[in-house]
Amino acid sequence: MDDDLITEHRPVAFPQVFGYLRHVTGGLPRHAALVDCLTEYCDRHELALCGVFAERDSTMIIRSPAFVGLLDVLELPDAYGAVVPALSHLGPKDLGTERKRQITAIGARLIVVRPLTPTRGSPSSLGASHSFRPQGDA
pLDDT tens-digit map of 97-132: 999 999 999 999 999 998 765 545 544 433 333 333
Go through the domains of the chain in sequence order and give each one's CATH number: 16-135 (3.40.50.1390)
For residues 12 and 37, give the distance between their C-alpha atoms in angstroms, rounded to a whole number.
23
Report whether pLDDT(83) > 90.
Answer: yes
- Residue 62 has a pLDDT of 79
Tell me the angle at which helices 93-105 and 65-74 cross, rounded to the nearest 10 degrees. Answer: 20
Report whether pLDDT(16) > 60.
Answer: yes
Written as one string, the DSSP assignment of 95-111 is HHHHHHHHHHHTT-EEE
For residues 119 and 122, give the distance between their C-alpha atoms in angstroms, rounded to a whole number.
6
SS3 68: helix
- Residue 131 has a pLDDT of 37
Amino acid at 136: G
